[in-house]
Amino acid sequence: MALPSIYSSEGLSPRDANKPITSGEKRDKRPIEYTLKTIDDKVKAAVEHQGHDEDIEMVPMENEQEVDLITSYVSRSRETNFYEDDVNMNVEHAPDFALVDGNISLLIIDTNFCISHLTILDELNRLANDYCLKIIIPVYVIQELDGLKNSTKLEKDHSGNESVKNLAKWANDWIYNQLANSSSTVKGQNLSQRINTNLTKDDSILDCCLYFQQHYAHHLIVLLSNDKNLCNKALMHDILTVSFRPGMEAKLIGRKIMEESISRFGHREAKYKPVVNQSVPTQPQSLAPEITEVAKTITTTSETSPSTLIYREIQTLLLSVLHHCMVAEYQEDIDLIRDYKKENVVNLLQCSQLLIRFWFSVFQQYFKAMPGRFVPFEEIGEGRRSKKIPVYVDEPTRQNAVKFVDFWSAVLKVLYNGIMNEQENEALDIFIARWKDLASRI
């Protein structure tokens, strides 16, 4: 039988004639060096764009070749390195998830996703309330990012070490900022939140998924990773995965996750009232002592000025209710919070600073239902550059007494409605009416 050839007597069959003529190994459409150059150029431009060291640049990997290169680098680094359980982030001790009713989904983030898609991760964080999302950073991912940003070039590695170091640093800084600001959406996995404490690398990230799958059975667990092997392991345990696709957007991810959650668990109405320790009665029979203290000033004859009375009484109630909210959120971990002691918060300025510091992790949930987006501070700027500024923290004057009372009365009403019992809310209404009367006399 003659071999297929244009020179043979039989010639080529139509099938053979349409085959491309090739020799040697199949090569990528774009060589590694070309893809590496596009990554290096983007990262270099981002470094030059940085205004100061605190800026966090977000350089998205926009095609499959770039994503594969970053994922391959992280995989090779993971094979050759081992990280101990020593997370060097000096952040607030995050409480366990206070999950309330609703189609809340937990997103477990892999290292390669943090590095390649920090823009999408940041957008998911902003859309978290719209799609009921919580973002969890596994312990090993924090360790790995810290190692990558300080890494030396891997031997025989084609990828750009310096670019990956910068990408890892920005991802690490983004996570640090979220945790340090006590984000209500982004949480770091606690060392206690593991099934097998001896696992490392891919297995430790899968273990993180399995832990939350076991402890939060009525919430969707989703792994965000570009590592195909890790995704396959997750899928074998009925854990959904999200990997890079051209045109991938945060809104699409959030919408698909929400739809899947509703499909599996049905529509569950979200509630924003905090979950308190069930061992502590939420409806005490007696009034809180600070209410009794303020009530005494009503029946006691005093030469104290109306403005001073208003300031002191509001301050007394606010100091107490803020601590109630902190205890409801952090429970037995309250003593572990850095630089927070109830006795160190003694005036309205410090109350306002406390509201701002723990806004996302504790207090924002109380104000969600307020019309007109009322917040207990002044906010200027937008996005990461926005600033929250305390207001009405000095004793009221004739010019601002009415606004002072209206502002702090609204703050107290929101917090009391969320954390105090019915009798205490009725007592607050009496105090507010009195403050308005006093304000009219200043």
> Does one domain contain both 258 and 350?
no
- Indicate whether 231 belongs to any domain: yes
Contacts of 32 (CB under 8 A, 6+ apart): 69, 158, 159
Q: Give the domain extent around 189.
A: 32-81+91-265
382 pLDDT above the threshold of 60: yes
CA distance 332 to 417: 23
Helix axis angle, 64-80 relative to 139-149, nearest 10°?
Answer: 100
> Does one domain contain both 329 and 187?
no
Query: Can you read off the two tokens belonging to residue 303?
Result: 């030469």
Number of domains observed in the structure of the chain: 2
> Does one domain contain both 247 and 336?
no
> Does one domain contain both 241 and 327?
no
> Does one domain contain both 298 and 329?
yes
In the listed set 232, 265, 298, which residue is the last one of a domain according to the structure? 265
Q: What percentage of the chain has pLDDT greater than the value 70?
A: 69
Q: What percentage of the chain has pLDDT greater than the value 90?
A: 26
Domain at 176, CATH number? 3.40.50.1010
Higher per-residue confidence, 318 vs 289: 318
> Does one domain contain both 343 and 415?
yes
Highest mean pLDDT among 63-67, 124-128, 302-306, 371-375: 124-128
Q: Is 74 helix (H, G, I), strand (E, B) or coil?
A: helix
- Indicate whether 16 belongs to any domain: no
Banded pLDDT at 151 (limits 50, 70, 90): low
- Indicate whether 341 belongs to any domain: yes
437 pLDDT above the threshold of 70: yes
- Indicate whether 359 belongs to any domain: yes
- Indicate whether 18 belongs to any domain: no
CA distance 128 to 160: 33
CA-angle at 249, arms to 112 and 123, nearest 5°: 75
- Indicate whether 206 belongs to any domain: yes
Residue 235 confidence (pLDDT): 92
pLDDT digits (tens, 9 = 90+) for 154-209: 444 444 567 778 788 888 888 888 877 767 788 888 777 888 878 888 898 999 99
- Indicate whether 175 belongs to any domain: yes
Nearest to 57 by CA among 178, 167, 177, 172: 167
> Does one domain contain both 342 and 292?
yes
Residues in the chain, overall count: 442
- Indicate whether 219 belongs to any domain: yes
Please report where in the chains the tokens 């207090």 appear, as a residue. 363
> Does one domain contain both 108 and 187?
yes
CA distance 19 to 6: 13
> Does one domain contain both 250 and 320?
no
> Does one domain contain both 200 and 51?
yes
Concatenate the DSSP letters of all residues of 36-66 into one string. Answer: HHHHHHHHHHHHHH-SSTT--------SHHH
Sign (positive/negative) of CA torsion 39, 42, 48, 50? negative
> Does one domain contain both 259 and 338?
no
Higher per-residue confidence, 274 vs 401: 401
Q: Is 267 left (phi over 0), alpha (psi -120 to 50) or beta?
A: beta
> Does one domain contain both 238 and 297?
no
Residue 49 confidence (pLDDT): 58
Q: Which residues pair with 378 in a beta bridge?
A: 389
Supply the Cα-derived Rg of the chain in whole angstroms: 28
CB contact at 8 A, 307 and 396:
yes
Q: Which residues pair with 388 in a beta bridge?
A: 379
Calculate the CA 4 to chain-centre distance.
Answer: 63
Mean pLDDT of the chain: 76
